Structure 1
Amino acid sequence: MTQSHTVADELESVAARVDAAVAAVAKLKPSAQAVALELKQAIEAFHKLALTTMVRHLKQDPRGKELLLELVADPAVYALLIMHGIMRADPLTRARRVLDNARPYMQSHGGDAELVDVRDGIAYLRLHGSCNGCSLSAFTLRKHVEEVLLREVPEIIRLEVLSDQPVPAILRSDAQTPPDESRGWVRGPAVSAVPSGQMISIPTERGSVLIVNVANRLSAFRNACAHQGRPLDGGMLDPEHGTLTCPWHGFCFDVASGECLTAPQAQLEPFPLRVVDGFIWVRPQ
């Protein structure tokens, strides 16, 4: 059994103990439940005070910041900091969790929703299965997704539904203007040179750019891991899960957003991307 599997098993075991304790408390008399709840809240307040102090000191020291990045890669540490409100999951992560919870209802009615990105208050999605013959119409599917996302993720103010054609996964205002080489735009490869499930790096005057295509979502990033800046083009691309794993130290990234799934504070540097006349254009910063 690998170390990662051991940690995962331990985390699942501890979580099961917590669930069992919660279920046992629910069976107690109201007076006993009140005592148990007060004990729980007192212990959590003590832990939060200590954890907050530890994180504050780590953030104040450059060496501590690097150590904190490594610590939050551990799912148990990350879950603990999230639980105590010391760290807050980003809108994209929370929106994905919301959709995961809503997915059984959507799929039971013949529909589904794929979250591409959340940026500047806009959630970019693809809707699937909402067509004639499906019990969940396109309009109803969109309204359902909109209702749950706007209610559960306050940072999201509206939705944008994308088509199934190859499009930029990260939509920024400067990615929607006509490409002008005098303003830094660089013509890259033809779209056909980067089929779905593959990636390619291209040299530019501002450094190497990594272009990734997953499910016809094109992303462009600086070809440098957010951990130590080493190139990513030799990494492992997982089209099924939409992730790219750095070949050097195993940091894992969401290729739609650039979010680091190993250390949530880290982020790949994204570049504006356009598709014009069958060619990919990028604008390295």
Structure 2
Amino acid sequence: MTAVVDTGTSFEELAGRVDAAARAVADLDGPARAVAEELKDAVEAVHRAGLTTMVRAMKADDAARGVLFELVDDPVVHLLLSLHGIVRPDPVTLAERVLVEVRPQLRSHGGDVSLARISDGVAYVRLEGACNGCSMSSVTLRNLVEEALVAGVPAVTAVEVLPNEPSPTLISVDALFMGPDPEKEGWVRASSTAALLPGTVTPLTVGGADVVVVNVGQQLTAYVNACAHEGLPLDNALLDAGNGTLTCPWHGFCYDATSGECLSAPGAQLEQLPLRVDAGVVWIRTG
């Protein structure tokens, strides 16, 4: 059904403005947020009282009841009535409201959450920033999202976190080519393959540069020995070969071990270095 009154503004635009305003209010400081929320509550109370009176009158009138049911099918009218609790909101609307409530706490820890979909009682969400890591704090934030959705949305019985697919670092073919005299081409003999055991993170000094070599399932990857968060060394980083993750020992930032993509803060990246193996010798280019 199309909107009863065409205002020239789509449902998505209207809903977007509501979401943006809610986020803006949540980001205000204490006193300003209290004033904004009181104004919102006062305006909503007026709207709720007027809408409730109209809905009751239309439900009591046989001729008007059919029009009321048609109006409720309109997405904008349904959104308006659900916002005021006059009709029961759909699970997605309820879930978005719940997430608005938890976002300030997530953002205070450098994280965020978005709802992908709800299907068969399961809410599928994507976590960003500090929520999407391997540290205990990130687990606590994920639990916060799950508990809020299950408690606040009757139709949701479970929450599943969708993974953020890492983007492999691209190294040019020219950078990987090693001629008959590799040292003249900038390659430095780094180690023997026998010294880089599977499931280990090995710090090395290669050509004066601090490097770590990660071995996941006999796949070797070299990185500059610096976490993308604050540049602290990764000598004692925790490697989970089963999950393919590398976790910084300082602040718990988690990376895809073979690509260097940061899973805790999408967009951050370990600096990957060209690496070649020739006759059991590992060569790395640092410049």
TM-score (norm 2): 0.46
Question: Which protein has the larger Cα radius of gyration, Structure 1 or Structure 2?
Answer: 2
